[in-house]
A and B are shown apart, each in its own frame.
Chain A
Amino acid sequence: MKFAIVVFPGSNCDHDAYHAVKHVLGEGAEFVWHKETTLATADVVIVPGGFSHGDYLRTGAIARFSPIMPAVTRFAASGGPVLGICNGFQILLECGLLPGAMLRNRDLKFHCEFVGLRLERTDTPFTGLGRAGQILRLPIAHGEGNYYAPPETLARLEDHGRIVFRYANAFGETTEQANPNGSVHSIAGICNEARNVVGLMPHPERACEAAIGSSDGLLLFKSVVSMLSERGDWQGSASLAQQA
C-alpha cells in the first residue's frame, strides 16, 4: 500500500503522518512536493496539517493553487481515498473537494488538547473498521477549526450522512462544552458525496501510539489499508456511496 503525503512549504505535520503510516503501520509512504504535478502510483493521498503557505490571508487559500492540487483533484474524482487533516482539511475546503469553510475558534484562541469524537459513519474508506457511535480520543491543534456551512449545505450533509465525526463527551453527547471551537452541529469531520474524500480537524496521525497519549487514530489508517487490501483497488468507492 502506498500513501502519498503532500508537502507544502509550510506543512508541519507531514513528518507525523509519514511516521504513523510508515513506522507505526508499516505501510509505504512517500512525500510529494507541492510543485510536483503527479501523484505517481499512490493508493491513498494525505493532505497533512501545518500552515501551507503561511496562511496569513486565509488558511489554505494559496495552497489550492499549488501545482499538485489538480492531481489530487483528479485522484479524488477517480474514487481514490483522500484524507485531509487540520490544515489539509482547510485546503480541501478551499479547493472545493469538500463543502463549507472554517472560522476562527469561538474564543479566538488556538487550542491544543485531546478531545472526544463520536464516529458517525463507518461507510468511508477511513472509518470502515469502526463502529457508529464509537468515541475516539484525538488531539486538536488549531486556531481556525470552527466549521461553518450555510443551512442548505448543512441539511444536505446531514441528510446524506456525510458528517463523519462530531465533537462529543465521553458519553457520546454533543454538548456545547465538548465542542472546542464552536463548529456548527459539532462537526469535526465530513466527507464528499462519493464518500472517498474525508477531512477532519483533529489529528489521527498524532494518536497512533499509546506513548504519545492515544492510539485511537490508527483506526483511520487501518481502515483504509484494510479496505484497499480487500478490494485490491479503488473500484469500491461507488458501491460505498450506494450503501449510504
Chain B
Amino acid sequence: MTFDEAVLERHSLSRDEYARIVELLGREPNLTELGMFSVMWSEHCSYKSSRVHLRTLPTDGPRVLQGPGENAGAVDIGDGLAAVFKIESHNHPSFIEPYQGAATGVGGIIRDIFTMGARPIALLDSLRFGTLEDGRTRRILSGVVAGIGGYGNSIGIPTVGGEVMFDETYAGNPLVNVFCLGIARRDALVRGRATGVGNAVYYVGAKTGRDGIHGATMASAEFAEKSADKRPAVQVGDPFMEKLLLEACLEVMKADAVVGVQDMGAAGLTCSTSETGSRGGVGIDVDIADVPQREAAMTPYEIMLSESQERMLLIVKRGREADVERIFEKWDLHAVRIGHVTADGILRIRDRETLVAEIPNRALTDEAPVYRRPMQRPANLEELRELPDEARQPLTRPSDALLAILGSPTVSSKRWIYEQYDYMVRTNTIVPAGLGAGVVRIKDTTRALAMSVDGNGRFCLLDPRQGTRLALAEAARNVACAGAQPIGATNCLNFGNPERPDIMWQFAEAVAGLGEACRALEIPVTGGNVSLYNETDGRAILPTPVIGVVGLLQDASKVRGRVFPDENLEIVLFGEGDGELGGSEYFKTILGLIRGMPPALDLARERALQRLVVDLIGRDLIRSAHDCAEGGFGVALAECCFDAGGLGASVSIPGISPVDRTDRLAAALFGESATRVIVSVAAGDLQAVLAAAARANVPAAQVGRTGGHTLRIAVDDQVVIDLGVAEAEARWSAVLSNWLDGQAA
C-alpha cells in the first residue's frame, strides 16, 4: 500500500521517514504498521531531535544502579535500598483538558516508578502558567492543581513539594512536569525487558478504548488554538485502577514471577511490546483479539495505538502464569495472556488467523531516525542581553518594591496549591511542601531523601547554557539546605519547535550547560524527558529545562528547613555576589523587563558551599538554611520569617556597585547572585560556623539576628526596609487565593 501526502501528514511522518520505513521493512507498510511507526518515531517516543545532545550528559557514578534508557533511573542509597526517580511532562494534554491532563501525567510517572519494582513514596510538580489576569490561565491552574491532587491524593502518594512560575509565554502552553520517587530493594529492581523465548506476555489493568489515539504524535506537534478540538486524544485517569495495579504489580514482582514489566504510556501497546522486545533482543508475538477491549469493533490500528490509561505489560516466567493470575485476581484485576516471547526479534501482531503487522522491534525503536537539526543563535539575543536605561533607574521605595515582589505570583506563597495535595500520607514527610526541599524519611533506616525541582525560564531565555547550570545548582543547593548530599538528577526539557534553528540552539546549549554543572558537582543524570513543540500559534514558551535533584540525608533527625526556628539566633549569609539583576524577579515585577545577563556561577564555589552546608547541618551547627533565589537576599530573608508565627529579623548588609551600573540598593536587596545561603545559628556556635566556612573557603558574614516582629534590613548602615512581618506575610500569602478562590475547578 502506498500512502499519499495527506495520510503521511496526518501521521506526522515526512516523505524521507516514509522512505526509511519502506527500506527497513523491505516493502510498503500497511496502515496499522504506518500508525505504529508514526507513534514510535514521534519526537515524544524517539527523541529524534534531542538524542545526539542527550548522549553527552554524564550518567555514571558510584551510586548509579540504572541510568537513562529504562522506565526510570535508580541510585544506591545504602541499607540495600535504591531510590528510583524520574520526571515527565504532560504539558499538551493539560492545556486541552487541565484536570485529566494533569491527573494522567501523575498516573503516568507513578507507573514508571512502580514498573521498576519500587514503591512510590513522593511526588513533586513543576508548573508554569500564563499570567493570572487571564481567566483562561486561572481555569487551567485550578484544573491542573485539582487534577494533580485528585490522582495523587487518591492513590496515597504524598506531593511533598514543587515550584510554580508565571509568564505570558505559558498562557497557551502551560507546563505540567511531574516528578516521582520510589524505594526498591537494590537487588530487586525490575527492568522493562522481555527475555526467555516462550515466556508469556500478559496484559493487565484497564481495558483498551479509543482514547488517546495519537497522543504521542499530538505531543509532538505545535499547537494551534483549534487544538481544543483534539480532546478525544486526552485520556481519562482512574487512580483507583492504578492503585490496584500498583499493589498487584509489586506483589507479583515480590513473588519473583516476572522477567520484565513495562507500562503502557505514550504509544500504548505498540511502545510497550517493541521496547521490551528490543531491549531484550527478542521478538514478541501478540494476538490482539485477546486484548481486553472497552469498545466494540476496534480496529487493529486503534488497539495498537490506544493510550488508554492504567495498563501494563508483563513478561511472565514460564510456569508462574497461575501465580500471576491469582495475585491479580486478589486485586479484582484480570491478567490476560495476549502473546509470547519469540527468538527472531520481530514484533508480530495477529488478529486470530490474520497477520496484521510484522515489524522488527529494532526498526521501531533503535532504528528510529536521529536528527542533527540545524542550530542558530537567536538573532535578538544580544539585544535581550543589553540593559535599557530604565533598568538603571534608582530604587526609591525599597519597602514597596519588596512587598510588590513578595506579592508577585511567582514569589508568593503556594499554600493555596499545596494544601490541595495530601503531602503527608504514608507518614514519612519530615519537611512538607512550602518549607524548602521536600524531605521524606525512609522507615526502618536512619536516613531520609530530600528532593527539589527547579528551573528558571527567564535565565534560560537570556542564556540557556547558564540558565540550566543555575537550575541544576539551585536544585542541588535546595537539597543541601535540608542537610542532604545531592546524589542524582533527572531533567525535563521543555522547549519550542526544534525544527526552528534558534530553538534547537537553545536546547543544545541547555543540555551542554546541564552536563557541565552535573560534572562539576558530581551529580549523575539518571534519566529524564524531553518535551518539544511547546508553542502556540508560532510563539514559543520560555526555554524551560526543569531539573530534579535527589539528595541523601544520613540522619533524618538532623533535617533542616527554611524557617528561622527561634529568636536571638545569629543570621549568617554564606556566599557573596555581584548583585546581578539580569533576568531577575525585580526586573520583571518592578520594571516589566526580561533583560540582561543571568548571574555568574562558579561551580567550584557552589560545590564548596553545598558541602559546607551539609557538613554543618550534620554537625548540628545550623538551625535553618534557605537559599537566595528569585527576589534575591531580600525575599529569601523574608521567607525565612514566614510560616513561623511572625518572628522577625534585623540585618545589615553592604551595598553593591554592580558592573552593569544598575542601582546599588536594588542590587544588594534583589540581585539574584547564585551560590548564596542564609542560615541561622545559635550564638554559641557562631565562631565554629565562621571558622568552618573560612576553612572551606566559603565567604561568610554574620549579618544580623532573629527576633522581634519586624523585618528590618539596613544597607550601608541605613535602614531601608522596616516592615511588620505580619504585613509582609499577608501580602505574600494572599496572592493566589485572591485570584483563584471561587474559581471552579
A110 close to B422 (CB less than 8 A): yes
Q: Which of B405-413, B425-433, B679-687 contacts A (4 or more CB under 8 A)?
A: B425-433
B371 on the interface (CB 8 Å rule)?
no
B155, B420, B428, B557: which contacts A109 (Cβ < 8 A)?
B420
**Given contact pairs A109-B420, A109-B745, A141-B153, A20 touches B244 in the complex (Cβ within 8 A):** no
B272: min CB distance to chain A, Å: 24
Q: How far is the CA of A236 from the CA of B684 in the complex (A)?
A: 55
Is A176 in contact with chain B by the CB < 8 A criterion?
no
A212 touching B428 by the CB < 8 A rule?
Answer: yes
Shortest CB–CB separation between residue B695 and chain A, in angstroms?
31
Report A202 CB to chain B, min CB distance, Å.
Answer: 12
B157 to chain A: closest residue by CB: A12
* Known A9-B244, A51-B154, A51-B240: A141·B430 in contact at CB below 8 Å: no
Nearest B residue to A9 via CB reads: B244
Contacts of B156 in A (CB 8 A): 12-13, 50
Question: B240, A53: Cβ atoms under 8 Å?
Answer: yes
A112 at the interface (CB under 8 A from B): yes
Give a binary string over A120-155; 1 marks a CB under 8 Å from any B CB, 0 the rest: 000000000000000000010101000000000000
Q: Is the CB of A16 within 8 A of B425?
A: yes
Number of chain B residues close to chain A: CB under 8 A: 37
Q: How far is the CA of A108 from the CA of B238 in the complex (A)?
A: 20
Q: Which of B387-442 contact A (CB under 8 A)?
A: 418-430, 432, 441
**Residues on A with beta carbons closer than 8 Å to the beta carbon of B744:** 108
A213 interfacial by beta-carbon distance below 8 Å = yes
Cα separation A212 to B425 with both chains bound (whole Å): 11
- What total of chain A residues lie within 8 Å of the partner, measured CB to CB? 34
Give the number of A-B contacts (CB < 8 Å): 88
Indicate which residue in A10, A108, A141 contacts B425 across the interface (CB closer than 8 Å).
A141
The chain B residue with its CB closest to the CB of A112 is: B422
Chain A residues contacting B424 (CB-CB under 8 Å) are 112, 139, 141, 203, 206, 212-213
Chain A contacts of B712 at CB under 8 A? none
Report whether A20 and B240 are in contact in the complex, using a CB–CB cutoff of 8 Å: no
Q: Are A15 and B244 in contact (CB under 8 A)?
A: no
Report Cα–Cα, A15/B424, bound state, in Å: 13
Distance A44 CA – B239 CA, assembled complex (angstroms): 30
Decide if A9 touches B332 in the complex (CB within 8 Å).
yes
Complex interface: chain A residues within 8 A of B244 (CB): 9
| B560 is an interface residue with CB less than 8 A from chain A | no
Given the interface pairs A111-B419, A113-B419, A211-B441, the reply to whether A10 lies near B153 with Cβ below 8 Å is no
| B247 contacts A9, C-beta separation under 8 Å | yes
Assembly CA distance A67 to B265 (angstroms): 35
Q: Mark A46-76, 1 if CB is under 8 A from B, else 0.
A: 0001110111100000000000000000000
Is there contact, CB below 8 Å, between B149 and A20?
no
Chain A contacts for B243, CB-based, 8 A: 9-10, 12, 51
Within 8 A of A (CB), among B138-167: 146, 149-150, 153-156
CA distance A38 to B247 in the complex (A): 23
A16 close to B240 (CB less than 8 A):
no
Q: Which of B727-745 contact A (CB under 8 A)?
A: 741, 744-745
B3 CB within 8 Å of chain A: no
Of residues 98 through 157 on chain B, the ones whose CB sits less than 8 Å from some CB of chain A are 146, 149-150, 153-156
- Find the residue from A23, A143, A203, A208 having the highest chain B CB count within 10 A: A143
Q: Is B83 an interface residue (CB 8 A)?
A: no
Seen from chain A, the residues whose Cβ lies within 8 Å of a Cβ on chain B are 9-10, 12-13, 15-16, 19-20, 23, 49-51, 53-56, 107-113, 139, 141, 143, 203, 205-206, 208-209, 211-213
Interface positions of B (Cβ within 8 A of A): 146, 149-150, 153-156, 238-241, 243-244, 247, 331-332, 418-430, 432, 441, 443, 556-557, 741, 744-745
